[in-house]
Structure 1
Amino acid sequence: MRGTILVTGATGNLGAAAIDHLIAKAGPDRVTALARNTEKAAPLHAKGIDVRLGNYDDTAALEQAMKGVSKVLLVSSNDHGQLLTQHQNVIHAAQQAGVKHVVYTGTAVKDADASPMSPMLNAHFRTEDHLKDSGPPYTVLRNTMYTDALPIFLGQDLFERGINVPAADGKVPFALRREMGEAAANVLLHDGHEAKTYQLTASEPYTFQDIAHVLSEHTGKPVPYTSPDPHAFEDNLRSAGAPERGIAVLSAFVTDMREGRYDIITQDFENLLGRKPAPLRESLREVYGL
């Protein structure tokens, strides 16, 4: 089905990855981007994309951005306190404009109520419910943790000091963000995905010991893995000058990894890509430039 595709969060990593694949497969004429400011949108203009300014809180701008749009990729907000309201604003604007299909990027996690991140995770699931109940035809993409985010957890000096993350033997099916963007583009460019929920995960889960092993092989130097006491981990971050909010968020994500909330494996990602997603060895090489 042809028509203009609006990508929200277009200057972020996931939105940009989806746009690159949409351009490669359908050309820039079919792509419209929602961006918050002109400066950040300049690279999108350079690619020949129609850029419409606005944000998830500005309902008038959202309504304007939806004009002439057939499909929308709703990249989830990172404003955790306002996440649900902001998503509802986008969905309502799409509904009012007669958009034919909204693709939403949520999160692949289980047992959300037990998570220290439960308010944010449940806002994702409530967004899904709202989209299904009151929005246009939908597809939900529940994305696993990004391999690209590992440097945040592993720190800048992991090759000197090793990996010190209190994830124990928790398993996570890490996947590359660019492949997530490709899967989203494929959903937007082909029919048959309406009223479906996909869990996008790697083909197998990995522990942080697996990550340490692969990095050791890539560099030829031992990269040891230690799973410290969670409180000691937080104290180390505090000593390094990390803000309390950042410590709380990082610790919460690690808790969910340690307790197996991301340990979900499906064939959905492989099916949407038409191939197996990049394995850990290839993904880490790309992320760390090895």
Structure 2
Amino acid sequence: MILITGATGHYGSTVIHSLLQKGIKAHQISALVRDLEKAEDLRSKGVHIKVGDYSDYESLVDAFEGADTLLFISGTEISTRLHQHENVVRAAKSAGIQHIVYTSFQRRNETDTSPLGLLAHSHLLTEKWLKESGLAFTVLKNNLYMDFIPSFIGEKVMETGIIYLPAGNGKISVALRSEYAEATANILVEPALHRNKMYDFTNVEAFGYDQVANYLSEITGKTIQYHSPTVDEFTQTLISAGVPSEGIDILSSFSVAQKQGELDVTSTDLENLLGRKPTTLKAYLETVY
């Protein structure tokens, strides 16, 4: 039995769809959800629905019973994630899970000096707990989703003609979330082949936002330029535009991380697991713009 956490989210639901496409029967899949109403589509497909919450250890133990392989999609609540992740690993061990596949994050810098330090802390400790658990594990070091690039360059980029981010000349290697999910499903089909391995989920090429500007100019016929302000200038500009502080922090942290080269990691791991090259940035931008 394969159990998917975060099953009603984009990543989890796409993994389940991929598993079904690959011939895994619905009755061999369980989906962990917090809200039963959101799981009706999965239930209608014949997938087992388990109710549980990362913050509720006992609910996890009950939900994990009978499963062999667990897809552990990392939590989104940063302030409580460390405790939640500890619950998941402990509950998996208690319930008899044999293999955990965990969605972690891509990085070069694992110290507190990283702009992604707040994000990194819970991931790094979770990886440590997995390695110490005695369970088989597979860690997916996911780079940023390509799907997020339009949010980073701004919804008004075609009006202003400017990509405005403090990312300097740094590069990033992104791929589609759906392709991360498809590769994850391939691992879940034959987990023994991926026992105690760590994979870099990136594209086979990296790019800077100057390249994004060039692609957009070519695709749309409008001249798009890239400007990299200081972080202070960027922050003040977005505050003046009414952008929430949380959004500013996310954009700033990932931009500075890119500027420092933390996300400039290319690998063929995703390509190998997909059995084809991931979608290119230009091809994706063509579908959006």
Alignment size in residue pairs: 285
Give the equivalent residue in structure 2 for 1:179.
Answer: 179
Question: Are the equivalent residues in 2 in contact too, given 1:83–1:120 (CA < 8 A)?
Answer: no
Tell me whether 42-51 or 178-187 shows the greater mean CA deviation: 42-51
Q: Which amino acid is 1:34 matched to?
A: L
Aligned equivalents of 1:144, 1:119: Cα separation in 2: 16
The secondary structure found in structure 1 opposite 2:39 is helix
How does 1:1-290 map onto structure 2 within 5 Å? 4-25=1-22, 26-113=24-111, 114-161=113-160, 162-190=162-190, 191-286=192-287, 288=288, 290=289
Aligned equivalents of 1:150, 1:100: Cα separation in 2: 36
Tell me whether 99-108 or 223-232 shows the greater mean CA deviation: 223-232
Unmatched 5+ stretches in structure 1: none
Aligned equivalents of 1:178, 1:273: Cα separation in 2: 11
Instruction: Give the superposition deviation at 1:135.
Output: 4.7
Q: TM-score, normalised by structure 1?
A: 0.94
Tell me whether 273-282 or 115-124 shows the greater mean CA deviation: 115-124
Q: Would the alpha carbon gap of residues 239 and 42 (structure 1) be closer, same or farther in structure 2, given more than 3 Å must change?
A: farther
Q: Which amino acid is 2:209 matched to?
A: F
The secondary structure found in structure 2 opposite 1:188 is helix
Aligned structure 1 segments of 4 or more residues deviating by more than 4 angstroms: none
Tell me whether 216-225 or 132-141 shows the greater mean CA deviation: 216-225
Q: TM-score, normalised by structure 2?
A: 0.94
Q: Would the alpha carbon gap of residues 100 and 208 (structure 1) be closer, same or farther in structure 2, given more than 3 Å must change?
A: same
Aligned equivalents of 2:224, 2:50: Cα separation in 1: 46
Instruction: Give the superposition deviation at 1:169.
Output: 1.0
Q: Which amino acid is 1:203 matched to?
A: V
Question: Are the equivalent residues in 2 in contact too, given 1:81–1:120 (CA < 8 A)?
Answer: no
The secondary structure found in structure 1 opposite 2:239 is helix
Instruction: Give the superposition deviation at 1:27.
Output: 3.1
Q: Which amino acid is 1:192 matched to?
A: L
Identity of aligned residues (%): 40
Aligned equivalents of 1:46, 1:92: Cα separation in 2: 31
Unmatched 5+ stretches in structure 2: none
Aligned equivalents of 1:279, 1:15: Cα separation in 2: 23
Q: Would the alpha carbon gap of residues 233 and 50 (structure 1) be closer, same or farther in structure 2, given more than 3 Å must change?
A: same
